[in-house]
Structure 1
Amino acid sequence: MAATMDHARSTISKIFCGEPRSYMRFNLAQNIEGDSSQVEMKLSNDDEEAPNSEGAPRHQDTYSRRPSRPAKNVIFYVIGVLLIFVIGYLIGYLTNRRQDLKTVDCSSDSDSDSDPENQPVTPRATAIEAEPTLDWSDIRNILRGKLSAEALRGRLREFSLSSHEAGSKEDELLANTVFSAFKTYNMNPWTDEHFVKLQSLSSGSPNKVRFGAEEIGRPAGYLAYSASGTKEGRVVYAHYGQPEDFKYVADMKIDLAGSVVLLRAGKISFAEKVANAAKLKAVAVLIYPDPVNYSNIQNEALYGHVHLGSGDPFTPGFPSFNHTQFPPAQSSGLPGILAQTITVEMAAKIFQKMGGANAPSFWDEGRLPVVYKLGSENDTVSVEVNNVLAEKMIHNVFGVIKGFVDADRYVVIGAQRDSWGPGYAKSTVGTTMLVELARAISDMVEHDGFKPRRSIVFASWSAGEYGSVGATEWLEGYLASLNMKAFTYINLDGAVTGSQTFKAAASPLLYRLIQTTLREVISPKASEKTLFEEVSGSNWELSVMEPMRMDDSAYPFTAFSGIPSVSFRFTKSAGEYEFLGTAQDNEERLSSATEGRTAQFAASAAQFAGQMALRLVHDHLLRLDVERYGIKVRSYVAQINRRIDQLRQSNVVSAGKLEALTVNWLASAVGSFRRASSAIISDMQNSDLNDVETCRIINDRLMGVEHNFLSPYVSAKDVPFRHVVFGSGSHTLAALVEHLNALKMDAPESDTDLFRNQFALATWTIQGCANTLAGNVWALDNEI
């Protein structure tokens, strides 16, 4: 702009002030009133110098002009110069305006981060070429074309091993294979080493079970993190070991203190079964696979763990990096009692020797050729566990596809790599899907013009069989770095275990995205139908969604780190794939469960995971459904309110204490969350997607929801699952409901003052989440 103005001033000076101080060649043609007058100026240069009469070069600049002009021509020249000035000004203004617009384009916000948890970068770098060139239908179709059953079939063969236990050479071999694949796809791979304590069977001292003096057997399977030693007590059968099962046993006047409890596998995790027994002061637990749940397992050993938590239980709340100064601590989730799996044959021998009353008829009948008894006082069983605890080095492997706009915001896709035995459904299929998704999406970026706004981190975890150890240690190590950066976790473990139906467990924030994706992924069973048409029925949520269990690999992401997560699987219409945690989880068994179409179902599962991830990194605004979370929280408020009313009517608690017991505070906090949800939805609908700052602020508000449901009033070390909705402990909304039930029954552990304290802290956790969702401090609702 300054150059244009200087040019104009120079021209005016030439016209009105005589000869210029310097000259340049130009033509200014005027056709006003037919005047063809011209001005020609010439600046000499070396190439154009002509010799003078003596042959010497001429050094004087020459120019020619018409010797005289009418006065009106001067006016025309002035008008022409003014026109040039105006045109130059407009050109300069429009040029600068275009540059300004480039710097505020929402889709051009670029960031680069090869190692998301270690190397944060500035989130404001912009480039107009970062604007995605593909619409969503293009992206979906390209991904579908790159994830074929044939490609997955070949990769399944590559990752199939007979055994790849955590910390073994086979586990390391697979880690190197995944790392090499990520490197081939230019994903800047890196590894994460942890030194964790894992349990295994003793090579010299086998575990044993005796009934009286008779040895029942020496199990080949085991439960990691069981206590070691020998315990003896009366044997009591307690069905699946759920709280209601133990309540029935207690109502039958059977004292479980000092007992050995016999339980079926299924319904709830091994860790929950053992924790429930430990609360009642049992000394040991035996778990067997009943044929009613495990019809194809005969004398196969079961493997698992009994840590009621995740990660290395001897470094609770902090990572097990090398040279970390570990305090003498252990997780509160370690049971402290013996736990051992036994075979069907061993269980049958114990039942045959047991006395006492028959098991109740409303407990579903097992299929052992024996009468199921509760046990008598004279039925004595001895359990000996000699598991060995050892420190092992494990590797997590990562690769990243960087976003072109907000590279420091990322979705994580992960799969467990280790297993006891072949682990074909447990880990091989998931690892295959992980690497194939990495290949397909990398290829889309490199060759198809796909430019994700946000990044995708691919993670291959080790020690998943011991309770998501590798994943949890990573979360513990980078907890602060992951906050407000990792906004979703997609779990690929066990994604194919059958062929009859589709199930998913997720944070409510992801429900709407799951529904949308089901409508877009083609069913592997019928090419003319989508998954939604195939499995949803009249109520998709009732047909597809289920609660997330504590032993789900995605659970610590939500309950410990506050990252919305999802697990999903093709499975049987009734029951579970019974070979998980056994040596029979191999290609043949899974092929039978999928009717010979394992690769086709794996391709559809990869499509489902890939489309969710791509939708999250493609759109300007994150597809996180805050309204659905409000429904979940309001359902708890309704339960609490109903029980408080029942408590008032029961007259168990004194009137003075009940007077202050009201649900109004909690209802007000939930109301604040609902209003904040409505406000942000309105902001999203009315936002300018080309406004960088607006997009970023809205997405940050959405990303904070899950994290702010983590209670700030409990320690991550002592209570790792701090989530008030999905966590575990007295701080949760579920615990409030249970405490009200205990108050109504006047149970010894109930305490009105303690309840009011827990109630207040849960209320303020929800209010804090509402405040963050609302955004700026002047937008907060202070009605509470």
Structure 2
Amino acid sequence: MDQARSTISKIFNGEPHSYTRFNLTQNMEGDNSQVEMKLSSDVDEEVGGNGVGDHLNHNSNRKPYVAQKFGRTPKNLCFMAAAIFLIFLIGYLIGYLVHRKKDLSPSCSASALPFANPPPHETGAAPLMDWDKVKELLAQKLNANKFEAAFMEFNSENHQAGSPGDEDLANKVLTKFKEYGMNPWTDEHFVRVQDPPASGTNKITFKGTNFRPSGFLSYSPSGRVTGAVVYANFGEESDLDFLEDKNFNLTGKVVLVRAGKISFAEKVANAAKRKAAAVLICPGTTDDSIGDNIELFGHVHMGSGDPYTPGFPSFNHTQFPPVQSSGLPTIPAQTITKGMASNILRQLSGHEIPAQWKVFGSLGDEKDVITVEVNNTLTEKRINNIFGVIKGFVDADRYVVIGAKRDARGPGFAASTVGTSVLVELARSISDMVKNDGFKPRRSIVFASWSGGEYGSIGATEWLEGYLSSLSMKAFSYIDLDGIVTGRSTFKVAASPLLHSLIGSTIKEVKSLNKDASMFPDLTGSWETNVFEPLKLDSAAYPFLAFSGIPSISFRLTSNDLDYQYFGTELDKWDKLNLITGAKVPHLTQVAAQFAGHIALRLVHDHLLRMDLAKYDKFIRAKVVQINVKVKNVQRMQPQLLPKALTMQWLFSASGSYSRASRSLAADIENSDLEDIEMCRILNDRIMTVERNFLSPYVSPRDSPFRHILLGFGPHTLGGLSDHLQALRSNNNNNSNADVELFRNQFALATWTLQGCANSLAGDIWSLDNEI
């Protein structure tokens, strides 16, 4: 029995009495190496005498080792049979026990049973609701009655930034966002702004008459200046050019202009460039819709955000270095009433005002002397932005931002109440679609209620400055809701060219859904020319686009091409807007909300962002052609300024690189698998880099905050290059606006910024077009 036990032990625990040869598929040293592994035990090798080594020959005909050892005697054969039986019995018992243990152990029947049907391939994508169903759901949620109720809730006679009225509205918005389950949060800033004099007044003196307006322009320098007054229509560059062509020297003059066409800040900046001494601004309308004594409010910062913390946020009373925005004006500016302006115009002498300016009177003469005294007070205010979010189900860290300013000086019904109401109603409608109707947006939607908008989009800009590095990578669009209803007959929109095609398709959809959308154009002929306008500096969409490189849109339902005449006055009330729109404010607001909602939902619904890269291709080519014509003109008329060695080759090549890169990306999109989430994310990120890479990396946000080389302003932009060439041609390099070396430097940097955008758009480093 001991011998049997020893034999069994050797069979189970011992090692085979042979070598096994393994052919390795890997080539270790470049040849077909073979490894021999000795599997016999040293103990067994000591048994059998001259049997050692015989097993090395696999072709040997000698008897097996066991037969040699035991021989074929009856005793040995019986012993071997008993051993084999014992082995079989032990194996059976082991198998039985193992099987019984499995039966007794706990198990998950779901995992043990095979699937009746194989599970579908899981991509991680949110179930995609049909777009027509999404449109239908939004139309059901938005209705005129709800907007009328929202107007009543958010309408306020006094909600200036940082005031108790502003704080009260902020709490109402925050409460709404909480009700909708949007996990709201706040963003606090301490900003410095200018308000009217704490004691006394600003003062205008003209021919023995003193005017003391209570309206004011924030950020005007304080001081007292005297000079001859000149009327300059809207204060646009073309208006000032007209005056200079008529031999008006604007140096030291006080320029009187009316509101409209361009921002107050641009009017003052234009006059300052002509070395004027001060600017007076009166209401823009020539009819009697605004009374003679209605005051006008605004700001003249040629920028956005807190001008005393340029490029960085005003967080938590942090001690910032003593710097100021380069956009602060250098000459005093003051608003006056329509009655004051009429009084001044009646007493002006000199040439008659041209008929095309549609104002009666004279332009002014050297003897028409006026004195302007400004005493505004710099104050600090605490403002709060309010946010809520509807998170996406696939790319939750990519989001569209929808925003509206909440504050106003005075009632501000069209300026802020309508926008705030649309913001809250869109938040309610879309969150309800997600919660109750099965809509699952792929990307997130952030809703923002800004404060400080009346002082130059302070709340929005400070938020951008605080989170710029994150937002520029994750926010792919901004939709501005300020001033979206000011009339009923015309539709105007300002946006990044990337969004133009999406805007066209949205116009078609909203027009088919709503009978009150009659102001939307038919998408035939030159509809884009009639609808699109430049993005205005006063719009919160402008810093999103030109400062942060985020594609943005601002739009309005209006009655004419001019600004709404009640902006910045105490007359911006519900009844005035009702009068202009024929008592259709709620219905028109519903149309505006549908337009904004469709844009946002389309951007978060589709697998790929609906942005048309080809639109920028056309835009760039037009700018390059314009610069080329002016370069050739300067080289022909002023050959000593621009040598023939300065060619347009590089700029043409950079433009071509962008064109090829955009077409390549369009082809990649056309051939992409929409169910491949990672591929869609990569393509979307390539699309998102376009706007961001148009920001010049060579200028400081303090000196030139709007760094976008196509849609910003400053010498670094393609528009700035064109203006510089005009100065070189007309001024023969005799003033500070015509600097050949500066032009050549800016020309090179703008070219490389454009080429860098093309390189980024191309994708992987090996895909770059490196010929320039």
TM-score range relative to shorter protein: 0.7 to 0.9
Amino acid of the structure 1 residue aligned with 2:681: R
SS in 1 for 2:464: helix
The equivalent of 1:7 in structure 2 is none
The equivalent of 2:249 in structure 1 is 255
Deviation at 1:506, TM superposition (A): 0.0
Within the alignment, does 1:158 sit opposite 2:153 as a pair?
A: yes
- Show CA shifts across 1:634-672 (max 9, x none): 10011011122222332x1228x4212211101100101
Contact 2:185–2:388 (CA under 8 A) maintained in structure 1? yes
* Percent of aligned pairs with the same amino acid: 55
Q: CA separation in 1, counterparts of 2:379 and 2:742?
A: 40
Alignment equivalent of 2:358, drawn from 365, 371, 374: 365
Amino acid of the structure 2 residue aligned with 1:538: G
Q: CA separation in 1, counterparts of 2:449 and 2:88?
A: 76
Spell out the pairing of 1:51-450 with structure 2 (5 A cutoff).
Answer: 101-102=121-122, 105=123, 108=124, 131-215=126-210, 217-292=211-286, 295-361=289-355, 363-366=356-359, 371-450=360-439
SS in 1 for 2:230: strand
User: Given the superposition, is the C-alpha separation of residues 468 and 245 from structure 1 closer, same or farther in structure 2, using an over 3 Å criterion?
Assistant: same
The equivalent of 1:573 in structure 2 is 560
Superposed CA RMSD in Å reads 2.6
Deviation at 1:266, TM superposition (A): 1.4
Deviation at 1:386, TM superposition (A): 1.6
Q: CA separation in 2, counterparts of 1:44 and 1:554?
A: 69
The equivalent of 1:21 in structure 2 is 94
Q: CA separation in 1, counterparts of 2:644 and 2:134?
A: 59
Q: Which has the higher mean CA deviation after the structures are superposed, 575-584 or 169-178? A: 575-584
Deviation at 1:42, TM superposition (A): 11
User: Given the superposition, is the C-alpha separation of residues 730 and 133 from structure 1 closer, same or farther in structure 2, using an over 3 Å criterion?
Assistant: closer
Deviation at 1:576, TM superposition (A): 3.0
Deviation at 1:481, TM superposition (A): 1.0
Deviation at 1:297, TM superposition (A): 4.2
Unmatched tracts of structure 2, length 5 or more:
1-86, 106-110
Contact 2:183–2:388 (CA under 8 A) maintained in structure 1? yes
Q: CA separation in 2, counterparts of 1:374 and 1:747?
A: 31
Contact 1:524–1:601 (CA under 8 A) maintained in structure 2? no
Spell out the pairing of 1:668-683 with structure 2 (5 A cutoff).
Answer: 668-683=653-668
Amino acid of the structure 1 residue aligned with 2:145: E
- Show CA shifts across 1:254-300 (max 9, x none): 33222211112112111011111112222211111244377444321
SS in 2 for 1:19: helix
The equivalent of 1:497 in structure 2 is 486
Within the alignment, does 1:654 sit opposite 2:643 as a pair?
A: no
Deviation at 1:600, TM superposition (A): 0.8
Q: Which has the higher mean CA deviation after the structures are superposed, 290-299 or 432-441? A: 290-299
Spell out the pairing of 1:582-597 with structure 2 (5 A cutoff).
Answer: 582-597=569-584
Amino acid of the structure 2 residue aligned with 1:495: I
Deviation at 1:391, TM superposition (A): 0.2
Amino acid of the structure 1 residue aligned with 2:330: G
SS in 1 for 2:715: coil
Amino acid of the structure 2 residue aligned with 1:248: F
Deviation at 1:523, TM superposition (A): 6.4
Alignment equivalent of 2:528, drawn from 541, 560, 567: 541
User: Given the superposition, is the C-alpha separation of residues 530 and 245 from structure 1 closer, same or farther in structure 2, using an over 3 Å criterion?
Assistant: closer
User: Given the superposition, is the C-alpha separation of residues 630 and 44 from structure 1 closer, same or farther in structure 2, using an over 3 Å criterion?
Assistant: closer
Within the alignment, does 1:760 sit opposite 2:755 as a pair?
A: no
Aligned length: 678
User: Given the superposition, is the C-alpha separation of residues 530 and 517 from structure 1 closer, same or farther in structure 2, using an over 3 Å criterion?
Assistant: farther
Taking structure 2 as the reference length, the TM-score comes to 0.84
Q: CA separation in 1, counterparts of 2:102 and 2:126?
A: 47
- Show CA shifts across 1:655-711 (max 9, x none): 8x4212211101100101011111111111111112222111101000000000000
SS in 2 for 1:520: helix
The equivalent of 1:112 in structure 2 is none
Contact 1:221–1:301 (CA under 8 A) maintained in structure 2? yes
Deviation at 1:522, TM superposition (A): 3.5
Q: Which has the higher mean CA deviation after the structures are superposed, 770-779 or 734-743? A: 734-743
Deviation at 1:43, TM superposition (A): 9.5
The equivalent of 1:127 in structure 2 is none
- Show CA shifts across 1:600-655 (max 9, x none): 111111111111111111111111111101111110011011122222332x1228
User: Given the superposition, is the C-alpha separation of residues 648 and 205 from structure 1 closer, same or farther in structure 2, using an over 3 Å criterion?
Assistant: same
User: Given the superposition, is the C-alpha separation of residues 451 and 531 from structure 1 closer, same or farther in structure 2, using an over 3 Å criterion?
Assistant: farther
Amino acid of the structure 1 residue aligned with 2:640: S
Taking structure 1 as the reference length, the TM-score comes to 0.83
Q: CA separation in 2, counterparts of 1:15 and 1:756?
A: 96
User: Given the superposition, is the C-alpha separation of residues 595 and 772 from structure 1 closer, same or farther in structure 2, using an over 3 Å criterion?
Assistant: same
- Show CA shifts across 1:76-105 (max 9, x none): xxxxxxxxxxxx99979x97xx69x53xx2
- Show CA shifts across 1:360-413 (max 9, x none): 34x4221xxxx5222221211111112111000000000000111111100000
Contact 1:535–1:544 (CA under 8 A) maintained in structure 2? no
Q: CA separation in 1, counterparts of 2:571 and 2:721?
A: 42
User: Given the superposition, is the C-alpha separation of residues 611 and 589 from structure 1 closer, same or farther in structure 2, using an over 3 Å criterion?
Assistant: same
Q: CA separation in 2, counterparts of 1:315 and 1:43?
A: 73
The equivalent of 2:697 in structure 1 is 712
Contact 2:611–2:687 (CA under 8 A) maintained in structure 1? yes
User: Given the superposition, is the C-alpha separation of residues 524 and 583 from structure 1 closer, same or farther in structure 2, using an over 3 Å criterion?
Assistant: farther
Amino acid of the structure 2 residue aligned with 1:673: Y
Contact 1:523–1:604 (CA under 8 A) maintained in structure 2? no
The equivalent of 1:622 in structure 2 is 609
- Show CA shifts across 1:112-153 (max 9, x none): xxxxxxxxxxxxxxxxxx522421111110011001111111
- Show CA shifts across 1:713-737 (max 9, x none): 1011221000000111100000111
Contact 1:669–1:764 (CA under 8 A) maintained in structure 2? yes
Contact 1:524–1:600 (CA under 8 A) maintained in structure 2? no
Which structure: larger Rg?
2
Deviation at 1:588, TM superposition (A): 0.2
User: Given the superposition, is the C-alpha separation of residues 769 and 22 from structure 1 closer, same or farther in structure 2, using an over 3 Å criterion?
Assistant: same
Q: CA separation in 2, counterparts of 1:248 and 1:458?
A: 45
Amino acid of the structure 2 residue aligned with 1:416: K
Amino acid of the structure 2 residue aligned with 1:195: F
Q: CA separation in 2, counterparts of 1:160 and 1:524?
A: 28
Contact 2:161–2:407 (CA under 8 A) maintained in structure 1? yes
Q: CA separation in 1, counterparts of 2:631 and 2:198?
A: 56
Deviation at 1:45, TM superposition (A): 7.7
Q: CA separation in 2, counterparts of 1:252 and 1:337?
A: 24
Q: CA separation in 1, counterparts of 2:391 and 2:93?
A: 57
Contact 2:170–2:384 (CA under 8 A) maintained in structure 1? yes
The equivalent of 1:457 in structure 2 is 446
The equivalent of 2:542 in structure 1 is 555
User: Given the superposition, is the C-alpha separation of residues 372 and 525 from structure 1 closer, same or farther in structure 2, using an over 3 Å criterion?
Assistant: farther
Amino acid of the structure 2 residue aligned with 1:365: K
Q: CA separation in 2, counterparts of 1:267 and 1:564?
A: 23
- Show CA shifts across 1:206-236 (max 9, x none): 1111113321x21121111111122111111
Within the alignment, does 1:781 sit opposite 2:766 as a pair?
A: no
Contact 2:226–2:372 (CA under 8 A) maintained in structure 1? yes
The equivalent of 2:18 in structure 1 is none
Q: Which has the higher mean CA deviation after the structures are superposed, 390-399 or 225-234? A: 225-234
Spell out the pairing of 1:716-727 with structure 2 (5 A cutoff).
Answer: 716-727=701-712
Contact 1:429–1:496 (CA under 8 A) maintained in structure 2? yes
Alignment equivalent of 2:713, drawn from 719, 722, 728: 728
Contact 2:733–2:740 (CA under 8 A) maintained in structure 1? no
